A and B are shown apart, each in its own frame.
Chain A
């Protein structure tokens, strides 16, 4: 009996300890390292950065961390512009996604229960297929010899190809396209639980359908809308692949700048500092998201 009890205790320790240990080693520790590296300077060699501590004059190691990288980020117009345009693009793309997703979610929620599951499946299915390939698919369509330009030229609408690819428009398109399911699902989840009798009650009280929608449906679906906006904003603001494949040379996004600093300029400390600022940028909406999507059982 004692032995079995001890086994259970050990099993319980394993259940918590193994995933917890993994997360500490591969999530918490790396994040702290990024912060540490963001305080040092690049140099030639391996590793390509100066140590955080050095042998000082005394017995204690000397702390060599500086905030120079952060000062650079906030004073150099390139980095400031990159952050601002990342936020602008992510916010606008999230709003465009909302406009497209809300009617879809609404329509799915109002179909018969029989059709809901397959319709929802169809929204989720693209999410399972390669993100990279889905973004790539647009390059073939928006290209200057792409399908759209060829078709328009064929019809005689245009003489010169329209610049559809490698600009901000294409980046918006890519984000909306890639993250549409993230917006449809939370809105659908809220609308599905909505009691449609409320709309009948609103009609009974004299509200025409559009007023009933504005005064009843929309306010009640607000948690889904907020969750959807955050779910699109958070990955979009740090996006790399979409601006890289669809954006132009002038499309500044922070993920792309970080990539360049790291892979082209080999400035690991500056890339780390950019990563930390980016982290701060997603943390606020992430906390908001946790609040919005908190389930009642978790609150207890």
Chain B
């Protein structure tokens, strides 16, 4: 028994070290004063200061934030409808096609999703004159599409756990299906809706490949800027930016998890 728990602890310790040590190193080195990223000189917040004055990164950050917020909100709305159609709706024609299509963005390689959406936008632009140019709008549309797939999964899982008797009880007490949705189904789905929003938001904030395909001149999201910079090698400013992003995400996800756990109690 003792030997087995020793093995288990070793496996966990190694696994978690593997997962977290690289991020920890990144964070530590973001406070390294040296321009040569890998040579430690002394602790400083110099790169954070430079980061604040980097207008390109600042613009990219706000653009990404805007795209992520809009696409996450739309993803969650569409995802909720899709989950309802799959779990609560009656049978409808093309339902199995619908189920396959919903999951497609999760399976398709990013390069394929990016390429296919770009071709769509190019052809739409040629035939209908819209979108007239590619940029924030086309990135948002692309992000809604894959965000919706993730949102559907998360919300559908919660919906499956929901006791359908609760919706029947609401109908029995006089609520129409639409009222039942607003008063019973949606409030009970709220934790999943929030989790789905957060997931869609972070995925949008993280996407390089699809955005690279569907963007146009002048619209560089934060991941595109980071990617083009790190392709050239390690950069101290990117270390600082990465640290800020990682901490922000950890904070948001941590707070959200705790809040949801408390709400469940």
Partner-B contacts on A (CB < 8 A)? 4, 7-8, 11-12, 14-16, 18-20, 22-31, 33-34, 37, 47, 100-101, 103-104, 106-108, 110-111, 119, 121-123, 125-126, 128-134, 136-141, 143, 145-147, 150, 177, 180, 184, 209, 234-235, 237-241, 244-245, 255, 258-259, 262-263, 268, 271-272, 275, 278-279, 282-283, 286, 289-290, 295, 297
Q: Is the CB of A103 within 8 A of B234?
A: no
> C-beta contact mask, B80-93 vs A, less than 8 Å → 1, else 0?
01101100011010
**Given A104-B11, A140-B37, A30:B209 Cβ within 8 A:** no
Q: How far is the CA of A206 from the CA of B115 in the complex (A)?
A: 58
Residues of B within 8 A of A139 (CB): 230, 233-234
Query: Which parts of B89-124 form the interface with A (CB within 8 Å)?
Result: 89-90, 92, 94, 98, 101-105, 107-112, 115-117, 119-120, 122-123
Which of B43-51, B54-62, B186-194, B249-257 is the contact stretch?
Answer: B249-257
Q: Is the CB of B25 within 8 A of A129?
A: no
Q: Is the CB of A18 within 8 A of B109?
A: no
Residues of A within 8 A of B119 (CB): 30, 33-34, 37, 268, 272
Q: Is the CB of B242 within 8 A of A133?
A: yes
Q: How far is the CA of A130 from the CA of B209 in the complex (A)?
A: 13
Residues of A within 8 A of B213 (CB): 262
Q: How far is the CA of A16 from the CA of B95 in the complex (A)?
A: 9
Q: Is the CB of B92 within 8 A of A16?
A: yes
Residues of A within 8 A of B103 (CB): 290
A201 to chain B, nearest CB (A): 18
Residues of A within 8 A of B102 (CB): 19, 23
Q: Is the CB of B112 within 8 A of A100?
A: no
A180 to chain B, nearest CB (A): 7
Q: How far is the CA of A106 from the CA of B101 in the complex (A)?
A: 34
B242 to chain A, nearest CB (A): 4
Residues of B within 8 A of A275 (CB): 109, 111-112, 115-116
Closest to A230 in B: B107
Closest to A145 in B: B38
Q: Is the CB of A240 within 8 A of B19?
A: no
Q: How far is the CA of A265 from the CA of B36 in the complex (A)?
A: 34
Residues of A within 8 A of B141 (CB): 26
**Given A140-B38, A240-B110, A245-B230, A26:B117 Cβ within 8 A:** yes
- Between A and B, 25 residue pairs with Cβ closer than 8 Å are A4-B176, A8-B178, A16-B85, A18-B81, A19-B82, A27-B105, A30-B119, A30-B120, A33-B116, A47-B123, A100-B14, A106-B8, A108-B12, A125-B253, A129-B23, A132-B223, A133-B23, A136-B26, A136-B242, A180-B15, A275-B116, A279-B109, A286-B107, A295-B160, A297-B160
Q: Is the CB of A130 within 8 A of B18?
A: no
B91 to chain A, nearest CB (A): 11
Closest to A18 in B: B81
**Given A140-B25, A141-B25, A122:B177 Cβ within 8 A:** no
Question: At the interface, yes or no: B29 with Cβ under 8 Å from chain A?
Answer: yes
Residues of B within 8 A of A16 (CB): 81, 85, 89, 92, 98
Q: Is the CB of B110 within 8 A of A282?
A: no
Q: Is the CB of B15 within 8 A of A11?
A: no
**Given A180-B18, A255-B109, A286-B107, A107:B117 Cβ within 8 A:** no
Closest to B102 in A: A23
Query: Which of B15, B226, B249 is the one whose CB lies under 8 Å from A132?
Result: B226
Q: Is the CB of B19 within 8 A of A177?
A: yes
Residues of A within 8 A of B89 (CB): 12, 15-16
Residues of B within 8 A of A283 (CB): 107
